[in-house]
Amino acid sequence: MRSVAHAVLFDIDGTLLVTGGAGGVAWQRGFEELYGVEADIAEHTDAGMTDPEIVKIVFREVIGREGSQAERSKAIAAYLEHLPDAVAESDGYRVMPGVEELLGRLIDGGVLLGLVTGNIEAAAHIKLARGRLNRFFAFGGYGSDSADRTEVTKAALRRGELVSGGTFQNSSCISVGDTPRDVTAGHGAGIRVVGVATGSYSVDQLDDAGADWAIPQVSDGFPA
């Protein structure tokens, strides 16, 4: 198949891998350690939210007030402290079918690979490390860049331009994600989007959200 992209940006959770709830465990341990509260992330947040969004919601809905910037930073630090163990301990951690083969094929075809994720940068690399996926990605946009996924995508595109030595063009870039938020963010940044139904949303739901391609998993008819 002829490549339709010179660069591809991948979401992490639900797209490249699932941690089996390790992120939620780390958030819960962090908030329990700091505030002695049970913070069930799945109960209060939706797939595709950025880490800065998550921590604000937990303060508002679990603790009952808006956390200060310093408090939110401390909560994120506690989350990061617990995340490596939570990922290592997770029985449900798995890389999605066909992902490693696809990433290798894209790189062999000269496609530049990046990340576009709501995870703060350190959390992203912790999650990728267990599956040995960090080695595929030259740049990225992260939740530590912005709480807004469109701005995260734009940050990834700017870094892609730097890594490519100025040859990077948005028109030849696509992003891949498993939620309508990923679709909205990619289009908001001016690029095409592959919706992959390996997370919480079906092919039909991703198609309805406006994905340029909607596929069951990355190994099924990937357009690059």
Model confidence pLDDT, tens digit, residues 108-118: 999 999 999 99
What pLDDT, in 10s, does the model give residues 52-101? 888 988 888 888 888 899 999 999 999 999 999 999 999 999 999 999 99
Structure pTM? 0.92
Residue 216 φ/ψ, nearest 5 degrees: -65, -40
Sign of CA dihedral 77, 126, 53, 149: positive
Name the band, by pLDDT with cuts 50, 70 and 90, for residue 167.
confident
Q: Rounded distance, CA 140 to CA 156, Å?
A: 5
Q: Which of 42-51, 144-153, 191-200 has the lowest mean pLDDT?
A: 42-51
Pick the CATH number of 7-19+94-215 from 3.40.50.1000, 3.40.50.150, 3.30.470.20, 3.60.150.10: 3.40.50.1000
Instruction: Return the residue matching tokens 């819960």.
Output: 28
- Based on its alpha-carbon atoms, the radius of gyration of the chain, rounded to whole angstroms, reads 17
pLDDT above 90 for 48:
no
Report the pLDDT value the prediction gives residue 2, as an integer from 0 to 100: 42
Residue 66 φ/ψ, nearest 5 degrees: -80, 125
Range 38-46, long-range pairs (CB < 8 A, 24+ positions)? 38/62
Alpha helix segments (H runs only) across 36-120: 41-44, 51-58, 69-89, 99-108
C-alpha dist (Å) from residue 17 to 100, 151, 207: 10, 23, 21
Q: Rounded distance, CA 165 to CA 193, Å?
A: 24
Domains 7-19+94-215 and 22-89 share a fold: no
22-89 placed in CATH 1.10.3470: no
Could you state, in order of their start, the residue ranges of all structural domains in the chain?
Answer: 7-19+94-215, 22-89
Q: What does 147-195 look like in DSSP terms, one character per residue?
A: SSHHHHHHHHHHHHHHHTTS---GGGEEEEESSHHHHHHHHHTT-EEEE
Instruction: Return the residue matching tokens 């992203």.
Output: 124
